């Protein structure tokens, strides 16, 4: 979106590196979040606690989130920022905390309900990342 | 994992936050955070634009926080508070949902409960129903109360 009003505040269009980093990583995060929700959904259907694969995917996703968060902070320090920085960073904090919270909550419940907690966490994460991208002004998708 | 359950035994004291209750708590916690954060943002940045809608947002946030807390806590009193909070939540989403459709002017900006929670996939409409069903199922039995003063 070269002339977009969308990222007019977000970044200089002639220097698309920063928004692009955020953009593709954001898309990868949405895919990862839905994958976690889907895998956890399969564990739930089998009346099992979250598969090891689900936990591994969640840990990997959390690493991606932390990279995303560091990039966002670094870019913001360099002067570019979201349309509404306060709102953006509030969402960022929620995105960073959601998976650990879901894992912690699911840990004591080693049955399908533990898996369902992870499903909820994955879906919420996907929604939050979409909102994060909207706030940054990156085209979603 | 198979557990042997004695059907005559009293349910564990924390039955409300186990199994489906844990999923319910996860969703309630999400809405507590979302509604409270939304209200805090609206009230702090643009209160004068739509004071009624933003105050309602704040009220919804308080209701969700109370419901989450009451679902997590053990005991009869917290169970009663949970029933009260979830009932108010149901009433809130029905009243605000109806009003927001009848009189769009009164709600120039969205709240969690506007149009029965459309902005949140109508989950705010379904959640209190599930909550009340769960609370009914986990209603504390009087004889499970520990004897006092003996």
Question: What are the residue boundaries of the structural domains of chain A, listed by start?
Answer: 18-136
Per-residue pLDDT, A17: 52
**List of chain B residues whose C-beta atoms are within 8 Å of the C-beta of residue A97:** none
Q: Closest residue of A to B23, CA-based?
A: A117
pLDDT at B30 over 90: yes
pLDDT at A15 over 90: no
Looking from the CA of B83 toward its CB, the CA atoms found within 13 Å total 12
- Nearest-Cα distance to chain A for B148, in Å, is 31
Q: Look-up: residue for tokens 């990583």?
A: A25
**Greatest mean pLDDT among A20-34, A73-87, B34-48:** B34-48
Determine, for residues A117 and B26 on separate chains, whether the beta-carbon distance falls below 8 Å.
yes
Mean pLDDT of the A8-21 span: 49
Per-residue pLDDT, A4: 41
Q: For residue B68, what are its two tokens? A: 């989450």
Cβ neighbours of residue A51 under 8 Å, at least 6 residues apart? A39, A40, A42, A43
Q: Which of A109, A128, A135 to mutate to test the interface with B (most CBs of B within 10 A)?
A: A109
pLDDT at B149 over 70: no
pLDDT at B147 over 80: no
Mean pLDDT of the A102-127 span: 94
CA–CA separation, B85 and B70 (whole Å): 8
Q: Is the ipTM of this complex over 0.90?
A: no
**List of chain B residues whose C-beta atoms are within 8 Å of the C-beta of residue A87:** 41
Question: B29-43, B83-97, B123-137: which has the minimum mean pLDDT?
Answer: B29-43
Name the percent of chain B lying above pLDDT 90: 53
Q: How many residues comprise chain A?
A: 141
Does residue B48 or residue A23 have the better pLDDT?
B48
Interface size, chain A vs chain B, as Cβ–Cβ contacts under 8 Å: 35
- Nearest-Cα distance to chain A for B120, in Å, is 10
**List of chain A residues whose C-beta atoms are within 8 Å of the C-beta of residue B3:** none
Phi and psi, residue A105, nearest 5° = -70, -35
Nearest-CA neighbor of B119 among B109, B129, B134, B128? B109
- Within an 8 Å CB–CB cutoff, is residue A120 touching chain B? yes
How much is the CA Rg of chain A, to the nearest whole Å?
A: 16
- Is B99 exposed, middle or buried, given 0-12, 13-18 or 19+ CB atoms closer than 10 A? middle
* Architecture of the domain made up of A18-136: Up-down Bundle (1.20)
Per-residue pLDDT, B65: 97
Mean pLDDT of the A42-51 span: 94
- pTM score, two decimals? 0.83
- Within an 8 Å CB–CB cutoff, is residue A106 touching chain B? yes
Determine, for residues A110 and B27 on separate chains, whether the beta-carbon distance falls below 8 Å.
no
pLDDT digits (tens, 9 = 90+) for B46-86: 888 888 888 888 999 999 999 999 999 999 999 999 999 99
Phi and psi, residue B79, nearest 5° = -60, -45
Per-residue pLDDT, B47: 84
pLDDT confidence bin for A132, thresholds 50/70/90? confident
Interface of A with B in 80-99 (CB under 8 A): 86-87, 90, 94
- Within an 8 Å CB–CB cutoff, is residue B26 touching chain A? yes
Q: Give the Å distances, CA to CA, from A86 to A81, A134, B39, B110.
A: 10, 14, 14, 20
- What mean pLDDT, rounded, does chain A reach? 83
Interface of B with A in 27-56 (CB under 8 A): 27, 29-30, 33, 37, 41
Per-residue pLDDT, B133: 96
Name the percent of chain A lying above pLDDT 90: 51
pLDDT digits (tens, 9 = 90+) for B3-19: 555 555 666 778 888 99
Using CB atoms, which residue from B20, B30, B41 is nearest to A113?
B20
Q: What's the CA angle centered on A130, arms B124 and B123, to 5 degrees?
A: 10
- What mean pLDDT, rounded, does chain B reach? 86
pLDDT at A20 over 90: no
């Amino acid at each position: 979106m070269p002339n977009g009003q969308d990222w007019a505040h977000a970044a200089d269009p002639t220097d698309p590196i920063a928004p692009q980093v955020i953009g593709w990583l954001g898309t990868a995060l949405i895919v990862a979040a839905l994958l976690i929700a889907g895998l956890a959904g399969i564990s739930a259907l089998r009346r099992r606690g979250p598969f090891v694969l689900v936990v591994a995917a969640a840990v990997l996703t959390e690493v991606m989130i932390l990279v995303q968060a560091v990039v966002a902070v670094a870019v913001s320090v360099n002067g570019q920022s979201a349309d509404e920085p306060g709102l953006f960073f509030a969402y960022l904090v929620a995105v960073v905390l959601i998976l650990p919270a879901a894992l912690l909550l699911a840990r004591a419940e080693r049955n399908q309900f533990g898996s369902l907690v992870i499903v909820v966490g994955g879906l919420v994460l996907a929604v939050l990342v979409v909102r994060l991208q909207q706030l940054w002004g990156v085209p979603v998708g | 994992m198979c557990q042997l359950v004695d059907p005559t035994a009293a349910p564990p004291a924390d039955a409300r936050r186990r199994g489906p209750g844990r999923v319910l708590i996860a969703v309630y916690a999400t809405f507590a955070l979302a509604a409270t954060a939304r209200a805090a943002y609206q009230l702090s940045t643009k209160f004068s634009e739509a004071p009624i809608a933003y105050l309602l947002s704040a009220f919804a946030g308080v209701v969700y926080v109370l419901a989450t807390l009451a679902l997590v806590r053990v005991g009869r009193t917290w169970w009663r508070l949970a029933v009260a909070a979830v009932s108010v939540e149901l009433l809130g989403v029905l009243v605000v949902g109806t009003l927001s459709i009848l009189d769009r002017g009164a709600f120039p900006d969205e709240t969690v409960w506007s149009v029965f929670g459309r902005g949140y996939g109508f989950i705010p409409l379904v959640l209190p129903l599930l909550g009340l069903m769960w609370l009914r199922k986990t209603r504390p039995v009087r004889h499970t109360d520990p004897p006092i003063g003996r």
